[in-house]
Every structure is written in structure tokens, then in C-alpha cells.
Amino acid sequence: MKEDDVKKLAEIRKMLIQLIERTERELELLRACMMIVDEELAKTSFTTAEKLLVKEKAKETIVPLVEREPWRELSTVTYRIGKQEVKLVKIYYRGNDLRIVPLIRFNVSTPPFESFLVNRVLEGMKKRDEEKIANRQLPIDKKIDYEIKLDGDIIKEIIIKNVIEEERVTSIKNAVKWTFTRMYEKYLR
């Protein structure tokens, strides 16, 4: 590659970095403006503009569009014993929500379910979102949340709402795989 070409590529790279930085600043400013608008609306009507729009749409349709969509399978967590493969958990998605359904009767008290998946991963994500909300980087209604449905002590399903970032989807999938694999190993003993 010629020296002139290298210089041109370096200039292009520098321009791209500046463009990315400027765009990120603009995006932060837009998010801050949106939060100010929501706060002002909340002072007068106790309802954010987004919630008002959702209410208007709800009047038009009985069931919100997202809830009418079927859950789609994202992946299956398996455990291999020799040539045999045991299906442990299915992970589904719908919009920005994930649904984790164990295929084996796992007890909620089996480690590392609560200590790792709930307290470390899911609660950790909630705390990071709360910090972003406090710093006005994330709207309140976009905070990750979860619900664990049980039948007695048996985990029926876990619904995780507002999994917006692809990085979080991957992180949750990996955490679910590691957690339920360890739980199954304890189940085998």
C-alpha cells in the first residue's frame, strides 16, 4: 500500500471517529430532552407521553400488538452425557422480552440459581439500569425487570422484560446455560 493511501485511510478513520463521537453526543442530548419532556408531562398529568400513546393504542385494540405476537424459540440449552443429549431449558423471545422455560423440574433453591442467575446477573442488570435512570441515560419504562413463576418450589418459567441490547440477550443466554447446567449436575448426584 502506498504512503498516500495510508494517509488517506488514516484521515478517513479520524473523520469516522469524530462523526461517531458527535452522533453519540447528539443521541445523549436527545435522550436527555426526552426525559425532560416526560418529567414535565408527569408533573401535569402523572402520565408520560409514551404511556399516553400506549393508552390511545390500547383503546383501538383490546390486546397490545406485542402480546398478540407468539413467543419465538431463540435457543435450547442442552447437556451432553456421552452421546446422549438432555434438553434442559428453552429460551423464547417476543419483542424485547425473553422467556426461559425449564424442561426438567428444577427446584428454585438449587444453587446457583438464586446466587448467580438472579442476584448476580438479573439484579446486576437492574442496578445498572437504575444508575442509568438516575443519570438520565435511560427512561424509567425501559428498565430491565423479571418475574419468576413457580409451582411450589419448582421453576415454571422466568419472564425477563426490556432486554433491549443484543449484548444483554447474549449475556442472559450464557448465564442461563451455565446456571441450569450446574443445577442439572447437582440433580444428577
Query: Is the pLDDT assigned to residue 62 strictly greater than 50?
Result: no
Mean pLDDT on 66-87: 87
pLDDT tens for 103-159 read 999 999 999 999 999 999 999 999 999 999 999 998 988 999 999 999 999 999 999
The rounded percent of the chain whose pLDDT value lies above 90 is 52
Give the mean pLDDT of the chain. Answer: 83
Query: Is the pLDDT assigned to residue 60 strictly greater than 50?
Result: no
Residue 112 CB partners (closer than 8 Å, separation 6+): 179, 182, 183
Which comes out higher in pLDDT, residue 41 or 107? 107
Query: Is the pLDDT assigned to residue 47 strictly greater than 70?
Result: no
- What band does 25 get if pLDDT is binned at 50, 70 and 90? confident
Residue 61 has a pLDDT of 46
Which comes out higher in pLDDT, residue 43 or 186? 186
Which comes out higher in pLDDT, residue 9 or 72? 72
The model's pTM: 0.62
Mean pLDDT on 160-184: 94
Q: Where are the domains of the chain?
A: 3-60, 69-188
The rounded percent of the chain whose pLDDT value lies above 70 is 77
Instruction: Look at 22-31, 47-56, 103-112, 151-160 and tell me which has the smallest mean pLDDT.
Output: 47-56
Closest to 178 measured CA to CA, from 96, 126, 116, 90: 116
Long-range pairs for 149-156 at CB < 8 Å and ≥24 separation? 150/108, 153/107, 153/108, 153/109, 154/105, 154/106, 154/107, 154/108, 155/102, 155/106, 155/107, 155/108, 155/113, 156/101, 156/102
